[in-house]
A and B are shown apart, each in its own frame.
Chain A
Amino acid sequence: MEKRNVIISVKDLVKNYDDFKAVQGLNFEVYENEIFGLLGPNGAGKTTTLEIIETLRQKTSGEVIVDGFSIDKDPNAIKRIIGVQLQAAGYYPNLNLIELLELFSGLYGVSVNPMEMLAKVNLQDKAKAKYKALSGGQKQRFSIATTLINSPKIIFLDEPTTGLDPQARRNLWDLITDIRSQGTTVVITTHYMDEAEQLCDRVAFVERGQIIALDTPDQLIDNLIASGFERKKEVKKANLEDVFINLTGQEWRED
């Protein structure tokens, strides 16, 4: 956090679909090696914003610079330094995980050892399995493995923990924290505030295509309390999720 090198800068980003304004003048910066969270309700424009930065979608106007490359001029240079996990993306049918990783290393033009990639996300024993046969958490971890193939500077994770059970979610948090500690910048979207609070260094709240707040989770909470907000219910020292984890065990289950 100390150096605050800007790795992504988004200025006045606008995206219109016909007559629907999905993104209306977004401005934010992502710093190198932080976990940056985009939060907001469904349809707020999070995914659209992400996909524009990922060069998958054309913007209507504005400027996006990723690691010094403009998305207008150098989309291919950007593709080579980012890893992308799409919400609900599928993989080539009938191939096992090793073969899928071989395919992606060909697509990225790098040579990697597929088993090492699987080891990074703890899926070695699923090497010969088909993607479809994986559990929800395993699918997400495999998706993350494909984002790491080109040793990217930034990875984008779009709702990686949606639909996972608490153990799988925590397991994924560990993985994401781990990836960040290797020097990778992480941009993540989520609906879970506990997740954002645990994981993200800074979060931006997006609502109707605009950013309505951007700061560290701590600071945002402090600001709210300073404004006189108080929870209706007294906060206990544990919540129901703690109970769940306590009863069903901490360790990650394969299925």
Chain B
Amino acid sequence: MKTPYSHTKATLALAKASFRSIMRSPSAVVFTLAFPLIFILVFGFLGGGGTKLDIALAPGSDMENPVIVALEKTGLVRITKDDNLDNINKDLEKGNYDALISVEKNPNGVPAYFTNVKYTSASLDKGNILKSILNEISFNLNTQNLKPTVTEIRATTVSGRLYRTIDFILPGQLGFSLLSTGVFGTAFVFFSLRQNLVIKRFFATPVKRSSIVIGEGIARIGFALLGALFIILIGHFFFKFTLIHGATTVLNMLVLATMGVIVFMGFGFVVSGIAKSESTIPPISNIITLPQFLLSGTFFSIDAFPSWLQPISRALPLTYLNDAMRKVAFEGAGLWDVKHQMLIMLLWGIGIYAVAVKTFKWE
């Protein structure tokens, strides 16, 4: 009498509706994109610069000297040339300047210049760095025309990949983004669909329950992957996030992201089932997300934690997602190389969905 009913079409219609809804939900966008991006921005700018020494050049110094030129060449110092002595001394005491340098031409000829350095006890560690920089510069300048008598040090450096802060922070933030969209998003959506009888109205149509779950899943995974891609690309192009094999690495990361968000959605289903009211969702979700956020190596390496805390960290699924992401992105590992991490996520997935099937409520 009618065309056969298509469950695929129904599933896709749901996915489309859900995706539209997620894109318009401020909380989803904030948790998935804005928060991780803010953290990435902060750490991206913090970590990019490395250590810089603030040095004041004493007024009246000779500017035509090789010492200052050599110092500037190192790229490690920031030299202020036009400050007055009063200010300089005050700032030295506060540690705003790490040192004061004055260079005088030697009227007697040899050596050509005297370099006077005033360090400050407010910034001893940087003073020490400056000391060794100056030693090296003076050695180089002094030995320019000499053959070494005892030994010549021939140092080479293996050219390795520069491990930036962003290489650590970005995968962690990505994990956090997936965790929050998976847990909070899923929990809120299913709770409110159930509470507002949206699902009941769906049941009055020929749609299957599995279509509702799968459609919602497709939308959420799609949204999470879009967010992940956005974060990866911003990180790569603006903060030089390392993607060793380019697009392949991105693809591998997205595969991991998919796996992660599916596992985390399981937590979301459980939360939506056990929450008694809308206001109990955030606390329950936070109990799940916050420990992982702090303990799973999102901001700090797990190795930095006290040894009694590490086993807890090593039990959390986000730890393994973060770990796998970093290996794939920075070390160029393939998916097979992170099978251990994926296996543990899979075990978490099986466990949490077993619980979800028991606790999930349709009505």
Contact = CB atoms under 8 A, between A and B. Distances in A.
A155 to B, nearest CB: 11
A167 B21 CA distance: 33
Interface in B11-51: 12-14, 16-18, 20-21, 24-25
Given A80-B206, A94-B25, A106 B201 contact: no
B205 A107 contact: yes
Contacts of A105: 13
B197 to A, nearest CB: 4
A95 B20 contact: yes
A107 B21 contact: no
Interface in A189-226: none
A238 interface: no
Range for the number of chain B residues in contact with chain A: 20 to 34
A56 B204 contact: yes
Contacts of A173: none
Given A89-B197, A91-B198, A109 B10 contact: yes
A84 B206 CA distance: 12
Nearest to A91: B198
A20 interface: no
Interface in A78-104: 79-80, 82, 84, 86, 88-95, 99-100, 102-104
B25 A108 contact: no
Judged by DSSP, the binding face of B is helix
Nearest to B212: A107
A93 B192 contact: yes
B204 A84 contact: yes
Contacts of A86: 197, 200-201, 204
A54 interface: yes
B204 A95 contact: no
B207 A107 contact: yes
Interface stretch (B1-9, B71-79, B82-90, B250-258): B1-9
A95 B23 CA distance: 10
A92 B193 contact: yes
B230 interface: no
A75 to B, nearest CB: 9
B204 A103 contact: no
Nearest to A150: B205
B198 to A, nearest CB: 5
B206 A109 contact: yes
B196 interface: yes
Contacts of B192: 93
A106 B6 CA distance: 9
Contact of B200 (A56, A80, A94): A56
A89 B363 CA distance: 13
Interface in A92-136: 92-95, 99-100, 102-109
A86 B199 CA distance: 11
Given A80-B206, A99-B20, A106 B10 contact: yes
A6 to B, nearest CB: 19
A42 interface: no
Given A86-B200, A107-B206, 11 more contacts: A55-B204, A76-B5, A79-B204, A80-B5, A86-B204, A90-B198, A93-B192, A94-B21, A94-B24, A95-B20, A103-B17
24 contacts: A54-B204, A55-B203, A82-B204, A86-B197, A89-B198, A90-B197, A92-B21, A93-B21, A93-B25, A93-B192, A94-B21, A100-B17, A102-B13, A102-B17, A103-B14, A103-B16, A105-B13, A106-B13, A106-B16, A106-B17, A107-B14, A107-B205, A109-B3, A109-B10
